[in-house]
A and B are shown apart, each in its own frame.
Chain A
Amino acid sequence: MDGTPSGSSQTTGLLGYFGFLRKSLWLVTDGSLLYYAWMTALTAIALVGAHAWAVQVTHGMITTNMTDSVSWGLYIANFTFCVGLAAGGVMMVIPAYLYHDEEMHHVVIFGEAVAIAAIVMSTLFVVVDLGRPDRFWHLIPFIGRFNWPISMLTWDVIVLNGYLVINLHIVGYLLYMQYLGRRPNPLWYVPFVYLSILWAISIHTVTAFLYCGLGGRPFWNTALLAPRFLASAFVSGPAFIIIVMRLVRVLGGYTASPKPVRLLIQIIRVSMSINLLMLASELFTIFYTGGEHAAAGQYLFFGSHGHYGLVPWIWTSVALNLVGTALFFLPAALERGNVRIAACVLCIVGIWIEKGMGLIIPGFIPSTLHQIVEYTPSLTEWKVSAGTFAFGLLVLTVTVKLITNVLTGKLHEGVPLTKPEAVETA
C-alpha cells in the first residue's frame, strides 16, 4: 500500500486492465452469506422493477398515475434526487485535492463510487420515464438529432454522461494503480479530479436549469433553484457517503481515518444551514408576495381548494430536515455513533422528499390552466423506482466491494485466485 512496485511481472496497458477487471469481477462475487443474501434481494427487487417497466412500455404509461397535467412524476423526482447524490458524491474530492488533505485521498474513492452509482440511477430514471425508449437512439449526437445547445435536456445528457466517464476513469485508474502496487501518476488523474469537481457542480446546476428555465411554471421559475439544488446535494451526497463508510467498516473490514468524515459533517452542517436559509427565503417570497407564484406553494404547504395531497409529504420533509440538521449540530455527531447515522438517514429522506414530491410534483399543481389535478404514484411507478434504486445499490455494492478488496490488499496484481479463502483469513 506504500506505492512501491510489487516484485512480480506485470501485464500493463489495456490487456492488464481487462485482466484486473476480470479478477475484480471474480472477487466481488465472493462474500459472506449476508453479502449473498443482500445481492440476491437487490437482484430480486431490480427484476421486479424491470418487469414492471416492461409492462409499462408495452401497455403504455397509462400504467403510471401521471396525467397531462402532472406529466412528470416519481421517476423525474427520483432522477433529480439522484443527480444531487452524484454531485454530492464528489464533495470528498474538494477537501482532498483543493486543500491537499492527504488523509482524504483514500476516502475520495468511495465518494466517486457513490457518484457512479447515482449517475447510473439518474440515467435509468430518465430512461424509464420515456414513452418511447425504443427511440433512445434519437438522443445520440450525430446519429439522432441532438437539439443542442437550445434544449437544456441535451445539456443534461452531456453533463451526466461526461460525469460518469470522468468518475469511471478516476476510480478505475486509482484502483488499478493500487492493484499494481504502483504510485498513481498525478498527470493521469489530478486534472480529471479537478474537472470532476467543476463537473459535479455543473450536473446539478444544469438539472436545476432544466426546471427553472421554464417560464410557464412559476414554482420552478426562480433563480434560487440551482443554488438550492447544490446546497441540498452537498448534504445528501456526504450523508450517503458517511453511511457507506460505516457499512464498509462494519461489513467490509476496511477502516478509514475518522478525520475525513468529521470534515464531511462540517460540510453538511454548512450546506444544510444554507439550504434551510434559502428555503426560508423562498417561502418568504412566495407567501409575502402571494399571487400566481404562490399558488403552488399554497397547495404544497397548506393545500388549496380542498386538495391536500402533498401537505403531509412536505411537512414530513421539513421535520426530517430540521431534526436531521439539529442532530448534525450535536457534538455526538462527530463521534462514531448512531446519532450521526440517524442524522444522515433523516437528512437523506428529507431531501429525497424535498426534491421529489416537494419540488417536481408541485411544479405541475396547479396546472398551467391553474386547475388542480393531484398525483399519487401508481404501484408500477413504485415498483420501477424501487427496481432502479436496487440496481443502483447493486452497482454501488459491487464498486465498494471492489474498492475495499483493493484497499485491504485482497486484490492485487500478484493475488492467486486459486486460494481466495486464504486471502480472507489473512
Chain B
Amino acid sequence: MLMGLLPVLMIVTVGMRRAHEEREDAQSVGPTLAELKAVGRSADPVEEIRRAKQTRRFPVEIRRPTGPPVIELTEPDPLGRMGRVACTTCHSVRPPNLSNQQPSDLDEFHAGMPFEHGRLVCYSCHNPGNADTLRLADGRAVEYPQVMTLCGQCHGPQARDYRRYSHGGVNGYWDLTRGGRVRANCIDCHDPHVPRFPKMIPTFKPKERFLVTTRDDHTPGLRFGGGTGHE
C-alpha cells in the first residue's frame, strides 16, 4: 500500500516544484525580458529559448513512401489488363526462392537490376512471407513507410546522427517556433539497392574575373586576358 503511494506522491511533488519554478521565472524574468527585447539583447539566452519553446512548435515532417512500391506495367498482364500492380500481384502466386541471392541469380522480371549493398541478399530486407512489406533481422515485418527502421538496424551511427540532424538533408526552419521542417528519408538520397551516393558533376563554378578556363589538374587554370572591357 505504502509502496504503491510513493510514486504518486513523487509525481505530485515534482509537479508542484515545476509549477513553483515557473512562477518564480515569471516574476523575476518577466519585466526585464520585455526591457531586453526592446534593446534586442538577452541576458540569459537559455532562459529565452526555454520560454520560446513553451510556445507552439511546428512539426518536423520526414518524407516517406506512402506504401509498398508499385510497378507500371509495360505490357498487358496474362488477363489482358494494363496499369499498376503491387509486388504481391506476382509474388503471392510464386513461392519465395531463398536461393536467389544476387541479381545475377534472377532470370525473369528483376533480371539485370543493379545491386551493390554489401553482402546483403534480397530477403535480407524483403519479406518472403509478404512481398508488400519489409522484414527486420529479427523476423518482424515492417511497412514500407517505416523503411528507416530497417536501415537503422545496420547503420547505427548514421541513424543516431540522423536523429540529431548531423546526417541527411533538411528544408524549412531551424526555429521550430516559426515554422516546420521537412527531412529527407534514407531512400531519398540512397537507392537501397545501390546505396552509395551517386557521383555528381559540378556544373556551377564561380569565375575569378579572369578565370577563363578551368583545368582539371592541381594548378588552377588561370589566365589573364587583359579583359578590362573599358580600355
Contact = CB atoms under 8 A, between A and B. Distances in A.
Contact of B224 (A64, A376, A380): A376
A140 to B, nearest CB: 29
Contacts of B228: 62-65, 378-380
Given A372-B220, A374-B224, A67 B231 contact: no
Given A67-B209, A68-B208, A69-B208, A59 B222 contact: no
Contact of A378 (B208, B211, B222, B231): B231
B63 to A, nearest CB: 36
Interface in A53-98: 55, 59, 62-65, 67-69
A380 B220 CA distance: 26
Contacts of B219: 305-307, 372
A126 interface: no
B229 A63 contact: yes
Interface size class of B (residues with CB under 8 A): 10 to 19
A152 interface: no
Contact of B222 (A55, A62, A372): A372
B231 to A, nearest CB: 5
Most chain A CB within 10 A, of B208, B211, B220, B231, is at B220
A69 B208 CA distance: 8
Interface majority SS (helix, strand, loop, mixed), chain B: loop
B226 interface: yes
A62 B224 contact: no
Given A68-B208, A68-B209, A69-B208, A373 B230 contact: no
Contacts of A306: 219
B229 A379 contact: no
Contacts of A65: 210, 224, 226, 228
Nearest to A66: B209
Contacts of B222: 372-374
A330 B91 CA distance: 102
Interface residues of A, number: 20
A59 B209 contact: no
B220 A62 contact: no
A21 B96 CA distance: 109
A62 B229 contact: yes
A378 B231 CA distance: 9
A374 B221 CA distance: 11
A371 interface: yes
Given A65-B224, A305-B218, A306-B219, A373 B229 contact: no
Contact of B226 (A55, A59, A372, A378): A378
B43 to A, nearest CB: 26
B118 to A, nearest CB: 37
Nearest to A69: B208
Given A67-B209, A305-B218, A379 B224 contact: no
Contacts of A62: 209, 228-230
Contact of B210 (A67, A305, A307): A67
Contacts of A69: 208
Given A59-B229, A374-B222, A379-B231, 11 more contacts: A59-B230, A62-B230, A65-B210, A67-B208, A305-B218, A305-B219, A372-B219, A372-B222, A373-B211, A373-B222, A378-B228
7 contacts: A62-B209, A65-B210, A67-B208, A371-B220, A373-B208, A373-B211, A378-B228
